[in-house]
Structure 1
Amino acid sequence: MTSPGLDYDKASLARVYNFYLGGKDWSDVDKETAQAVIRSAPDVPEAARENFRFAGRAAAWAVAEYRVRQVLDIGVGIVSDVPLPSVETCVLAADPGATVLAFDNDEVVLAHARALRPGYGGVLRGDVTDLDGIFKHPDAVGLIDMAKPLVVILAAVLHFVPDAAAVMAGLRERLAPGSVVVLSHVTSTQTSERRVAGMTKAYDDKAISPIFFRSQEEIRALADGWDIVTPSDLVDVQRWSPDGTYAGPLYDTVRVLGMAAVLPGHQQERAHTPGGAR
């Protein structure tokens, strides 16, 4: 995954996603790229918003269910102007004492964060393909304890990474047992080849990074060595919830699959409530 500079000649993944989510922090080239994607798959903005909701909902559930108070949101993007609750907002509503650290490799995201919050900035520089750079970031040392479980959010991130399996293997090697990964990924399964080709071309032509559609089986395989939990398989993000009550509409032109997966190794402490959920 490349580390883009402040390049306004190519579309920023973060700004394109901001456009999908209804934000205002995008440029003309980002809008052009987003519209090219939407021409191939008109449901993309709705799917993106459901993906955003899924990330917050699943993160809050993991914090409450497994009593994990450390959350890393990797590839956070530009969310300050999005009219939806962020991962941080959802997590802190579930546990006000939790620590939430956001990381991104996009200079656009980092510059935007610094402008909003001078000094610390609110977002740390980090690339999902350089996990040591994230876990050993000097500003993260002392804020996270790698000997204890973490919740790691990878929402709509790994489909921009050529070797997504290497990222998941790297997390498995570094994280403590009982850690939870919340992951979502666009899929080619039950999506027409014409639409997949159109969306892929839009990113290839205009964006700083390509997009990699994977089959449902390939995405499930990313959880090798992890236990997929609640529900116990991949589901469309708008159908993911601990008790099965969240049921957004399915989309005809694009699918985003989500899962929460726990790193086994010891008996995780869980909230003792009906159905295991709070």
Structure 2
Amino acid sequence: MNEQAGRLPVEIDTTVAHEARVYDYWLGGKDNFEADRALGDAIAEHIPTIKTMARANRAFVGRAVRYLVRECGIRQFLDIGTGIPTSGNVHEVAQRAEPGSRVVYVDNDPIVLAHARALMTSTEEGATRFVFADLHDPHSILSDPALAETLDLTQPTAVMLVAVLMYFRETSEVRQVLDELMKAVPDGSYLTITHPTADFDPEAMAGVVASAEQSGIPFQPRGRDEVAALFDGLELVEPGVTPVLAWRPDPEPAEVTRLHPEHEVDPRSAYYWAAMGRKG
């Protein structure tokens, strides 16, 4: 854990909903408060399957990390907006595939910081660190000593931004953040994004936006073309910008699909776009 984070005052306002804790609630975690659950339930009124969608987003993280390690040879990860630790964290998946993998997590919720100290362990061969910082200030992330001590940014690195960019209202600011992050990593690095969208159900997503904004949380869904534009200058990895459930899904045994066709899931039933791009 970085020393800077250890000196930060940890104050938790339990009366105000926080994105990481709402997500924890949807995933069935216990590190959330009444305000978080109230917002989570308000959003669920518009999208009753939101908890399933959160789990689908979490499952995507595992598939993406395994692909990056096994197929792309990536050994370093910068996971921004990591959320409260739960089963299937980036370092767990990466180090299971390659024990020497190194991961830096970034979040701005004091509860995430507290749990990161206790839960984010590492193999002896690899390393895991946490940076308490805000994505709105990417320089504070890139200049943190813990990052330099853990990752060698002269080597290919995977930048993970899973379900976090919707908290930026202005796409121009997102573009600035992405440009700064990707400028800091070399050719051969990857950018991974999932992003909620109104493309699949505009009315339901409008309700989500209203609930989030009423709780003081900015929430900006983006369409497919807008998400694709975030990868300008990068080479999109197949299958490109796709519903999160359709991004390199784990294959099911053929006999399961044949005998139980009800297991087939509409990939547009989770209102997220997902994509990965390679620099250079």
Q: Is the 8 A contact 2:85 2:120 kept in 1?
A: no
Give 1:96's aligned amino acid: P
Report whether the alignment pairs 1:61 with 2:67: yes
Which residue, 195, 199, 206 being the options, matches 2:204?
195
Structure 1 residue 25, shift from structure 2 partner: 0.9
1:258 aligned residue: 274
| TM-score normalized by the length of structure 2 | 0.83
Report whether the alignment pairs 1:98 with 2:84: no
Output the CA distance in 1 between the equivalents of 2:71 and 2:267.
Answer: 29
Q: CA offsets per residue over residues 63-113 of structure 1, 9 Å max, x none? A: 222212111111111023xxx422221111111111011111122211333
1:174 aligned residue: 184
1:178–1:248 distance in 2 versus 1, CA, 3 Å: farther
Output the CA distance in 2 between the equivalents of 1:100 and 1:248.
Answer: 34
Report whether the alignment pairs 1:43 with 2:49: yes
1:7–1:195 distance in 2 versus 1, CA, 3 Å: same
Output the CA distance in 2 between the equivalents of 1:34 and 1:12.
Answer: 10
Structure 1 range deviating more: 65-74 or 11-20: 65-74
Give 1:10's aligned amino acid: V
Structure 1 residue 198, shift from structure 2 partner: 0.9
Where 2:71 maps in the other structure, the secondary structure is helix
1:71 aligned residue: 77
Where 1:101 maps in the other structure, the secondary structure is strand
List gaps (5 residues or longer) in structure 1. Answer: 265-278
RMSD of the TM alignment (CA)?
2.4
Output the CA distance in 1 between the equivalents of 2:46 and 2:218.
Answer: 16
Give aligned-pair identity as a percent: 31
Structure 1 residue 122, shift from structure 2 partner: 5.0
2:259 aligned residue: none
1:7 aligned residue: 13
List gaps (5 residues or longer) in structure 2. Answer: 1-9, 122-127, 253-262
Report whether the alignment pairs 1:26 with 2:32: yes
Output the CA distance in 1 between the equivalents of 2:190 and 2:104.
Answer: 15
Report whether the alignment pairs 1:213 with 2:221: yes
Q: Is the 8 A contact 2:69 2:75 kept in 1?
A: yes
Q: Is the 8 A contact 2:244 2:270 kept in 1?
A: no
Where 1:78 maps in the other structure, the secondary structure is coil
Q: Is the 8 A contact 2:68 2:74 kept in 1?
A: yes
Q: Is the 8 A contact 1:239 1:248 kept in 2?
A: no
